[in-house]
Amino acid sequence: MLYMVNKAPLSSDSLRSCLAIAAPGDPVLLYEDGVYAAQAGASSAPWVLEALKTRPLYALKADLEARGITRRLDGIQVVDYNGFVALVEAHNVIPWL
């Protein structure tokens, strides 16, 4: 399963609840405000890094660039729209809205 999260990690429990429920190994794609979870130094960083030990996390490039998120956590993979489509093609998708 590919989970898709579009809410910021400090003002919504969307990413936390997704990570609590998604099976280990299931990838998570961060898009729209979800990409703020990639910000290095944020108070969410420790639990986001913990999640990276058991699953890949992807962040959509256009959303990172729009928001000016340049200092990113190591291990979060940046994907462009083609990469986004490839992920969606390869997995069943659960939009975690």
Partner 1 sequence: MKKVMLIMRRAPYGTVYTAEGLRSVMGLAVFELDVALAFVGDGVYTIMRNQDASGLDMKPLGEAFSGLSDFGVQHYYVHAPSLAERGLTTEDLVVPAEVLDDAGLQRLLAEQDAVLPF
Binding positions for partner 1, rule: CB under 8 A: 6-8, 10-11, 32-33, 36, 39-43, 45, 61-63, 65-71
In the complex, minimum distance from the CB of residue 92 to partner 1, in angstroms, rounded to a whole number: 25
Contacts of 68 (CB under 8 A, 6+ apart): none
Contact predicate 51/26, CB 8 Å: no
Classify residue 23 as exposed, middle or buried by CB count within 10 Å of its CB (0-12, 13-18, 19+).
Answer: exposed
The smaller minimum CB distance to partner 1, of residues 13 and 65, is found at 65
In the complex, minimum distance from the CB of residue 49 to partner 1, in angstroms, rounded to a whole number: 13
The smaller minimum CB distance to partner 1, of residues 1 and 71, is found at 71
In the complex, minimum distance from the CB of residue 23 to partner 1, in angstroms, rounded to a whole number: 27
